Structure 1
C-alpha cells in the first residue's frame, strides 16, 4: 500500500518512510504543492497526508488543489500540537481527518478507516497487513465496507462472519450494483486473507478462449498460442478465486470446472500433463441460481455444487431505510460536507434505484459536482444539469 505525503520537514519524511518500510508500505512525497495535482490525477495513492508545517497562506492552494481533484481516498492532516480548534473544525468540514504527530502505522490505518477509506485501502493491503489490522483494529470492518443497519444487511454481515472461515464454496447473488464484490472481499477477510486473490469477470472472457483463460495452455496449443499461459485456476492455487457473472462461463468449460472442483485436478489446453489446484471459490451472479439453471445458462450439476452456501444481497429499493447512512458514507468519502435538502431527500426516497448502490453513488457525485458552489445544501432545484431523478423511471 502507498500514500502521498506533502511536507517541508525532511525529518518527518524520513521517519514516515522508515515506518512504512518496516510495515511493507511505500510512499511518495513533495514539498511543492504544484506537483500535487499531477500525483492526484494518477490516484495510485489510497491515502493523502498533509503536514501542518505550512503557513495559512501556503496551505490554501494545497487544500484547493486537493478539493478540486476530488481525491477519493482518506485525507489526513498531520498536527504537532492540538490547539487550533477553529482550523481543525474547518478541515474536518471539508473532509479531512486530524492525526497528531508522532503516530504509528496502526494509528494511521485506524484514522483512514474512520474517514470512510476502508474500501480505498483494502485492496492495497498484503495478507500480513490485512490480518494484522483486522485483528488489532477497533473499527467494524464489516460495517465500513457493507454499509447499512437494515435487518437484511445486519443478517448478511452475521452470515459472512459465520461462514467466511469455511473452505466451502460460497455464491453471492444480487442485482447489478448491490455490492457483490464487497461481500467477496469480506469473505476473503474472514477466510484469513489467503493469497493470491484472483478476481475474474466471466462476461469479459471471450467464449472462444474460455478454456485458455480458465485452465491455461501450453505453447502451440492453438494457432495464436505462441507461449505457455497459466490459467486463472492455477493462479488461484492456495488462495481464493472469485468468479463474477458465473453464468457467462461457456457450458463446456462449466463441465470441466465442475470436475476441477470435485477432483482438484485439471489439464491445461494442449498438455498431456495433469495439474492440481486447491482454492476457496466465491461465485456471483445478477440472477438467482435456480433461474439460471431453468433458463439453461447454468449446468444442473454445477448448480447443485454452487447452491449450498448462498448469500443474497437485497436491492436498494427493499432497504431504503439505509439511504441516509449510504448518503452520508459516500459524501464523506469524497469530501462533500453538504447534504441533500428535504425535497431532494424525498426524491431520493421515492426513486426505485434500478442500478442500486452504484447508481446512488453516481447520482450523489453528479449532485455534488453540479450543485451551486455557494449553496449550503445539495438541492435538485438548483442543479446545473438534468438528473436521473427527473427521468421517466421515477416512481
Structure 2
C-alpha cells in the first residue's frame, strides 16, 4: 500500500463511539458479526465502540463503510447523477441492504459473509425487555450555543472603502481560547453535575469532589475533550465513575450519607434511589432523569442494550414498590426530570482555581514520578558500583558445639558381662569333638 493510500485511509472520518454503537444496532449486527467481517476480535470492536481505540489504515476505511459513513472516495460526487428518488420511496428502503453492500465494497470485509448478509432478509435486533413507551427522548446532551460568545458587530465601512464582498455565509463566532472554552463548559455543566452526583450518592461533599476531579481530568485531556461531540457527557461519565467508586466507603468523611431533605417526597425518592445498586441507580437517572435514549444510556454505563433495559426495568419496579405514585414510567420520568432540573447552585470553586488545581496536580505527579525514577537510578548505580566482581567464599572458623550426642557404637561391658566372657573363653566347646590333625 502506498503512502498516499495509507494517509487517505487514515483520514477517513468516523462517527463518535456512541454513534458507532447506535449504527451497529440499527443495522441489526452483533459484535461477533462485525468482528468476523473486519477480521478482528470482539474485544477490539468493543474498544472501538467505547472510544478506547480506533481502527487505522484499511480497517478504518472498511469500518466506516460498514457503518454507512462515506469514505474519501464516496465524498466525490460523479459528474452525472441519477435523479433523486422521492422521499417517500427512499424511506421504504431498509438500512440492512445498504450496510451489506457497503461492507462488501471494502477490501477487508469478507465478500462471502457480505453476500449472505445481503441475501437474507433483515434480522430483528437482539430481543431486549419491553420498556413501556414514555415521553420522547432528547438527543445527546451537548453544550448549547450560549457557550459561544456572540461576536460584536463591526462598524460598517463606507461604501467607497468597502471591497466588493462575495456572498457571505452565516457569521462565524470567533474562536475561543482553551481557557475560555473550559471556563464556559465549567460554568454551564458543573452545577447540574454536582446535583446529579448528589442524587446518586446522597453526599454533597463527595459530589463536589467528584465534579472537581472530573474537570481536573478534562483540563489535563482538553485537546481530546474539546473535539468530543459531547463534552458534557465526557465530564459526566468521569464524575459518575469517581462518585460511585466503592473505595469511598473506607473514608470516614464519606462513609455515611448526609441528612435527608426535609420534603417528604424528595426524601422518599432519594432514599429509594440510594437503595438501588449503583449501576441501576445510574441507569435510571440517565434514562428517566436526563432523558437519554436506551443505546446512549447503555454506552455510557458500558453495558449492552438488553442489560441496560433489564436494569431500567428492575429500578422502575423497586421505585414503584417504594413509592406507588411513581409506578407509571411517565410519572417517574416527570418526577426525576423535575428533580434533576432543580440543580441548586452549590458553592463551587471558580473555573480558574480548578484549572490551577489540575495543573498543580499534574506537576506534583510529574515530580513524584521523576523523583522515584531518580531514586531507582541512584540505587541501581550504587549497587552496581559496590557489588563484588567475583565470588569470595566465606571460611568460618571452627567453634565448639554443645548438645551433640556421644559417638555411637557398642556400649562398655560391665562386670557381669566380663565374667561371662571369661567363662566362655575358658570352658571347652561342648559340641562334637573336632578332628585335630596330628603333626608327624
User: Which TM class, normalised by the smaller chain length?
Assistant: under 0.3
> Could you state the TM-score of these two structures normalised by the residue count of structure 2?
0.21
Specify which structure has the higher proportion of strand. Answer: 1
- The structure that is helix-richer by fraction is 2
